[in-house]
Amino acid sequence: MRSHAFDAFFKPKAVAFAGSIKPGKIGYEIIKSMKEGGYQGNIYPVNPAGGEVLGYRVFASISELTEDVELVVISLPLRAILDTIKQCGMKGIRAAVVISSGFSEVGNYQAENDLVTTARKWEVRIIGPNCAGLMNPWTNHFPSIEVRALPGHTAFITQSGALGGATLALAEERRFGFSKFVSYGNRCDVGDIELLSYLADDPQTGVIALYIEGVDKGREFLRAAHAASMKKPVVAIKSGRTQSGTRAASSHTGTLAGIDQIYEAAFRKTGIIRVEGIEEMFDLCQTFSQCLLPDGNRVAIVSNAGGPGILAADKAEKLGLDVAEPSPSFQKNLKPHLSPHASLKNPIDLTVESGYEEFRIALESALSEYDAAIVIYVATPYLDSNAIARGVIDAAKAHQKPIITNFMAGRIVKDAVRLLKEAGLVNLATGERCAFVLSKLTERKKLLGRIKFASID
Amino acid sequence: MHQLIEKARREGRHLLEPEVLSLLEDYGIHVPRYTLIHNEDEALKASRSIGWPVVMKVVSPDIIHKTESGGVFIGLQNEKQVSEAFSQLYALESKENRIEGLIIYPFQKHDVELSVGMVRDLQFGPVITFGLGGIWIEVFRDIAYGIAPLSHKEAEDMLDSIRAHSILKGMRKRSPADRKALCELLIRLSQMAMKEDAIKEIDLNPVFPMEKGYFIADGRVIL
CB contact under 8 A, B120 and A244: no
Q: Are B93 and B152 members of one domain?
A: no
Most confident of the following: A110-119, A245-254, B103-112? A110-119
Q: What is the CATH number of domain A7-287?
A: 3.40.50.261
A11 burial level (CB within 10 Å; 0-12, 13-18, 19+): middle
Q: Are B57 and B137 members of one domain?
A: no
Mean pLDDT of A447-454: 94
Roughly how many angstroms between the first and final C-alpha of chain A, as a whole number?
A: 33
CB contact under 8 A, B125 and A218: yes
Residue B75 has pLDDT above 90, yes or no: yes
Question: What CATH number does residue B159 fall under?
Answer: 3.30.470.20
Structural domain includes residue B79: yes
CB contact under 8 A, B123 and A215: yes
Mean pLDDT of A357-381: 96
**Contact A131/A97 with Cβ under 8 angstroms?**
yes
DSSP state of A430: S
Q: Are B102 and B118 members of one domain?
A: no
Domains A7-287 and A294-444 share a fold: yes
pLDDT tens digit string along B15-61?
999 999 999 999 999 999 999 999 999 999 999 999 999 999 999 99
Structural domain includes residue B2: no
Mean pLDDT of A236-241: 82
CA distance A193 to chain B (A): 13
Q: Are B129 and B71 members of one domain?
A: no
In which domain, by residue range, is B186 found? 114-222
- Chain A positions in Cβ-Cβ contact with residue B154 (cut-off 8 Å): 269, 453-455
Question: What CATH number does residue B77 fall under?
Answer: 3.30.1490.20
Mean pLDDT of A272-291: 95
Q: Which ipTM did the prediction report?
A: 0.91
CB pairs under 8 A between A and B: 104
Output the pLDDT for position A251: 54
Output the pLDDT for position A243: 44
CA distance A276 to chain B (A): 20
A96/B14 Cα distance (integer angstroms): 49
Least confident of A2-6, A87-91, A123-127, B39-43: A2-6
The CATH topology of domain A294-444 is: Rossmann fold (3.40.50)
Q: Are B188 and B152 members of one domain?
A: yes
Residue A3 has pLDDT above 80, yes or no: no
pLDDT tens digit string along B97-139?
999 999 999 999 888 999 999 999 989 999 999 999 877 777 7
Structural domain includes residue B164: yes
pLDDT tens digit string along B138-177?
777 889 999 999 999 999 999 999 988 888 887 777 789 9
pLDDT tens digit string along A28-76?
999 999 999 999 999 999 999 999 999 999 999 999 998 899 999 999 9
Least confident of A308-322, B77-91, B169-183: B169-183
Given B51, B75, B106, the domain boundary residue is B106
Mean pLDDT of A225-234: 98
- Chain B positions in Cβ-Cβ contact with residue A253 (cut-off 8 Å): 115, 117, 119, 129, 131, 137, 143, 201, 203, 205
Q: Are B120 and B214 members of one domain?
A: yes
Mean pLDDT of A102-124: 97
Banded pLDDT at B7 (limits 50, 70, 90): very high
**Contact A231/A204 with Cβ under 8 angstroms?**
no
Q: Are B99 and B69 members of one domain?
A: yes
Q: Are B186 and B208 members of one domain?
A: yes
Total domain count, chain B: 2
Q: Are B183 and B120 members of one domain?
A: yes
Burial annotation A109-139 (CB, 10 A radius, 16+ → b, else e): eebbebbeebbeebebbbbbbbbbbbbbbbb
DSSP state of B150: P
Mean pLDDT of A133-153: 97
Q: Are B102 and B123 members of one domain?
A: no
Structural domain includes residue B17: no
